[in-house]
Amino acid sequence: MPSALSPIASLLLAAISASAPVRSSATATATGPSSGQVRFVTAKRIYLDKGAADGVRAGDRVAFSRQGRAAGGCVIDLVGAHDAVCRGRGALVGDAFAAPRRPAPVSPPVPAPLPPPEPDEALVRRAAELAASPHDKVDFVPQARAVVGATGTAGLGVAVYATRPGSPQYVGETLDVALHHVPLGSSGFRFDTAFSVVRMQTTSPPRFPASGTEFYLWDAEISRREIDSQTVLALGRIWPWHTPGLPILDGLQLGRRNETGTVEGGAYAGLIPETLTLAPTFDAWTTGLYGALSQPGGRDDAIRMAAEEARLAIRHSPTVGWVREAQGQATLELAGGGIAASGALRDAPEVDRQPVLELVNGEAWLRSASVAARVQVRYLGVAPELEPLLRDELPRVLGGFHGSVALAWDPARTVGVAVNGDAHHEQDGDLNEVNAGLDLHFPRLFGASGGLWLGASAGQGWMESRSAYAQVILTGPRIRFVGRLGGDVTRFADPVGEVALTELGGSLQLEGRLTPRLRVVARSLVRVPLAIAGVLPDATSGTVSSLDLVAAY
């Protein structure tokens, strides 16, 4: 391998490649790029089926594609002979990628015959001379080994929301910065941060609570979470790992994992920032214990990966007082699909007479080369806190049953069909809703440049809706274009009767790569009301446009 791997990474890569066919030297020295696939995905990492023998090196950037469409990418972190690992999210098992093109290695020259060994007497004499020679001691200063290279992005954008004259006009200026895995000297610690600065301008009092210039700090942590470190530590504004359902914390997480990295446990404590502004506060805090297990499987095993996470905690809220809670989740990744389940139990004596279920979720999925299916069922309990997200709006008490199903068929990756549906029952107001949709896609209608997507959906219940759309995606070496046109009719009940709204809308997105580390993204959304309650409105179209410049290192 090009670099030493940690015990857990070695175990995972060995399990993945246990049944990989042995490749000949002729295959290993091919000069053309080889096509690979995502073998399986965890919460933080993506495992690929190509390695050093296929031309993959640590630090390479690979791009994923799904059914002919771009599906993100990642930077290679660890490399084995026929496997590789990178950090990232959003990838799915089966996503394709191309290994980097590299020249074939030059065959080494045939070595000359070795000289005959020297007599034993000469070796003994030299050993005695070496032992009698003086040796100066040299201080050893350990250097931290970076398992993940530092990365960073910065984006500067302007968004404009415009309606007819006399209505609110909004202009927003944004700055988004993210830095990840920045080493702090030779301490073995890393620094991560992500924040956004938003400056809003409006001609009338804003509806949103935030106004003027707002600063949102998403992450600012000093951590040690490398694969080969058994002690896990993070402090600052952190996103705790293996703690399902836990939000951002201003605090500390301390844990310990075994040598293989399959078992981890620890504790956390901290303050919970305000929901809307992310501002630090001393009014809400939490502390608890957590644990996580993982069981990787081989490529030919029925079970590819199993993972379980759970936490037990107490927290204090300024509106509901003391809350005791327990939450857990489990995922079983199978060769042709998987299942997952999660649940949360809450005990808040000031608002509940007895412990209640706050969340129950179950889902299952199947996939093959041409078929994918997913089913999800969820119970969402009543939230103890009541926090309206918009000004002049009444808080909505959550609680209800929800289900969804989706089925996609793409036999030749040139034409496909997908059907989906969902049903909802809201306990707050005894409201019911059922929706169904149909999509047709032709991802290679324009050859390698892109394709066409068509779809329609209908909903019946407390809100009746009918909608249809057409979407075109075009890609090139340095540019990507997404255009969408659609219309919808919505009819819903309000306190004084039924209101019907008919709209026509469209969106455009253009993304261009100026340099390998600099790109520009332009977006625009237009909504044109055709009829409101059966009357032709005098309003002109509403437009939201934005322009972002994103730099990465």
What's the pLDDT tens digit per position in 300-358?
Answer: 778 888 999 999 999 998 888 999 999 999 999 998 899 999 999 999 998 888 999 99
Position 25 scores a pLDDT of: 36
CA angle, 512 then 39 then 474, to 5°: 25
Residues 6+ away with beta carbon under 8 Å from 233:
189, 223, 224, 225, 252, 253, 254, 255
Predicted confidence (pLDDT) per residue in 54-85, tens digit: 888 888 888 888 887 878 888 888 888 888 99
Task: Give the pairing of strands 249-257 and 450-461.
Answer: unpaired
- Report helix, strand or coil for 122: helix
User: Distance of CA 55 to CAs 31, 73, 107, 233, 261, Å?
Assistant: 9, 17, 16, 35, 28
Q: What percent of the chain has pLDDT over 70?
A: 83
CA distance 30 to 101: 9
CA distance 273 to 219: 12
- Report helix, strand or coil for 51: coil
Position 63 scores a pLDDT of: 86
Position 9 scores a pLDDT of: 47
- Report helix, strand or coil for 130: helix
Segment 538-550 shows an average pLDDT of 82
50 with 82: CB under 8 angstroms? yes
Instruction: Give 241: exposed, middle or buried? Use CB within 10 Å, 0-12, 13-18, 19+.
Output: buried
Q: Residue 395, Cα to own-chain centre: how many angstroms?
A: 29
Predicted confidence (pLDDT) per residue in 99-137, tens digit: 777 765 566 777 888 888 888 888 888 888 888 888 777
Higher pLDDT residue, 186 or 3?
A: 186
Q: What percent of the chain has pLDDT over 90?
A: 41
Position 345 scores a pLDDT of: 95
37 with 54: CB under 8 angstroms? no
Whether residue 407 has pLDDT greater than 90 = yes
For the domain made up of 7-98, give the CATH fold: Thrombin, subunit H (2.40.10)
Supply the DSSP string of 228-247, one letter for each residue: T-SEEEEEEEE--SS-TT--
CA distance 290 to 304: 24
Position 325 scores a pLDDT of: 95
CA distance 86 to 79: 9
CA torsion sign, 209 to 215 to 218 to 222?
negative
| Maximum mean pLDDT: which of 92-101, 273-282, 472-481 | 472-481
Predicted confidence (pLDDT) per residue in 480-535, tens digit: 999 999 999 888 765 545 567 788 999 999 999 999 899 999 999 998 888 776 66
Q: Taking all residues of the chain, what is their mean pLDDT, rounded to a whole number?
A: 83
Higher pLDDT residue, 432 or 42?
A: 432
For the chain, the structural domain boundaries read: 7-98
Locate all alpha helices (DSSP H) within 110-235, ordered by sequence: 120-132
Position 389 scores a pLDDT of: 53
Buried b (16+ CB within 10 A) or exposed e, 140-172: eeeeeeebbeeebeebebebebbbeeeeeebeb
CA distance 243 to 263: 14
Predicted confidence (pLDDT) per residue in 217-247, tens digit: 999 999 988 766 789 999 999 999 999 999 8
Position 435 scores a pLDDT of: 96
Whether residue 14 has pLDDT greater than 90 = no
Higher pLDDT residue, 17 or 116?
A: 116
User: What is the enclosing helix (H) or strand (E) of 480?
Assistant: strand 479-494
Position 507 scores a pLDDT of: 95
CA proximity to 69, closest of 481, 361, 435: 481
Residue 232 CB neighbours (<10 A):
20
* Residue position matching structure tokens 């031309």: 55
Position 397 scores a pLDDT of: 62
CA distance 491 to 355: 38
Position 24 scores a pLDDT of: 37
CA distance 522 to 538: 29
